[in-house]
Amino acid sequence: MPKQGFQPFMESPLHHFKLDAEAQARRADGRIWCNELPHLGYAVLRGDTAEAGFAQLVQQVTGLALPLQAGAVSQGPQGVLMWTSPDEWLLVSHRQRLADWTAQLDGGFAAQQLFAQTVDSSGGLTLAWLGGTEHITVLRHLGVYDFESIPLGHMVSTVLGKATVQVIRLDGDGVFVLFRRSFADYVWRLLRRAAQPYGFAVCQLEARGDHPLFAQLAAPRPSLILA
Partner 1 sequence: MLVITCPYCQEAREEEEFSYAGEAYIARPAVPEEADDATWGDYVFHRKNPRGWHWEQWQHVAGCRKVFAVKRHTVTYEIAGSWTLADGKALYLKEQA
Partner 2 sequence: MSGYRIHRPGERINRQKPVSFQFDNVQYKAFSGDTLASALLANGVRLIGRSFKYGRPRGIVGFGAEEPNALIQLETGAHTVPDLKATQVELYQGLLAGSTTGYPSLDFDLKGLLGKFGRFMPPGFYYKTFMEPVKAWPVYEKYIRKAAGYGHAPVLPDPESYDHLHHHIDVLVVGGGAAGLWAATLAGRAGLKTLLVDEQAEMGGWLLTERRSRIDGLSGMDWVSQRLAELASLPNVSVLPRTTAFALHDLNLVQAVELLQDHLPLTERNAALPRQRLHKIRAHQVILASGAIERPLVFGYNDVPGVMTAAAGHSYLNRYGVAVGREVLVQTQNDAAYEAALDLAQCGVKVMLADARQGGAAAWRQQALKSAGVELLLGHGIAKVLGDKSVSGAQLVKLDGRNNQVVGSGPRLSVDTVLSSGGLTSTVHLFCHNGGRPVWNQQQLSFVCPDEGRDNIACVGAITGRWELSEALGQTHAAVAALLLGHGRGSSGNAPSVASEEVAAPRAIFRLPDGKPEGHGAKAFVDYQNDVAAADIHTAIRENYRSIEHVKRYTALGFGTDQGKLSNINGFAIAAEALGKPIAEVGTTTYRPSYTPVTFGALAGPHVGETFDVRRYTAMHASHDARKAEYEVVGQWLRPWYFPKPGEDLHAAVNRECLATRNSVGVMDASTLGKIDVKGPDAREFLNRIYSNAWSKLDPGKCRYGLMLDENGMVMDDGVTACLADDHFHMTTTTGGAARVYSWLERWHQTEWPELKVRFTTTTDHWATVAVVGPDSRQVLQKLCTDIDFDKDAFKFMDGRSGTVAGLPARVFRISFSGELAYEINVDANYGRYMWEEVMKAGAAFNITPYGTETMHVLRAEKGFIIVGQDTDGSMSPNDLAMSWAVGMKKPFSFLGKRSLLRSHTAGDGRKQLVGLLPLDPKVVLAEGAQILSNTDDTVPAAMQGHVTSSYHSAFLGRSIAMAVLKDGSKREGDTVFVWAHGKSVPAQVVSSVFVDKEGVRQHA
Task: List contacts with partner 2 (CB under 8 A).
Answer: 1-4, 6-13, 15-16, 39, 44, 46, 87, 115, 117, 119-125, 137, 140-146, 148-149, 161-163, 180-186, 189-190, 193-194, 196-197, 199, 224-227
Distance CA 210, CA 151 (A): 19
Least distance (Å) between residue 223 CB and partner 1: 35
Which one of 30, 77, 86, 197 is in contact with partner 1 (CB under 8 A)? 86
Distance CA 59, CA 157 (A): 24
Distance CA 28, CA 43 (A): 34
Q: List all residues 6 or more positions away from 198 whose beta carbon is below 8 Å from its beta carbon.
A: 30, 31, 32, 132, 133, 134, 137, 138
Q: Site for partner 1 (CB under 8 A): how many residues? A: 12
87, burial (CB in 10 Å: exposed 0-12, middle 13-18, buried 19+): middle
Given strand 40-46, what is the order of strands in its sheet?
A: 73-76, 79-85, 88-94, 40-46, 117-120
Torsion of Cα atoms, 65 then 67 then 72 then 75, to 10°: 20
Partner from partner 2, partner 1, none contacting 70, C-beta within 5 to 8 A by type: partner 1
7-15, 80-88, 132-140, 174-182 -> range binding partner 1 (CB under 8 A)? 80-88
Least distance (Å) between residue 71 CB and partner 1: 7
Which residue's CB is nearer to partner 1, number 11 or number 148?
148
Binding mask 145-184 for partner 1 (x = CB under 8 A): x-----------xxx----x--------------------
Distance CA 147, CA 135 (A): 10
Question: If binding is defined by CB under 8 A, does position 1 make contact with partner 1?
Answer: no
Coil, helix or strand for 125? strand
Question: If binding is defined by CB under 8 A, does position 71 make contact with partner 1?
Answer: yes
What residues line the site for partner 1 (CB under 8 A)?
Answer: 70-71, 84-86, 88, 144-145, 157-159, 164
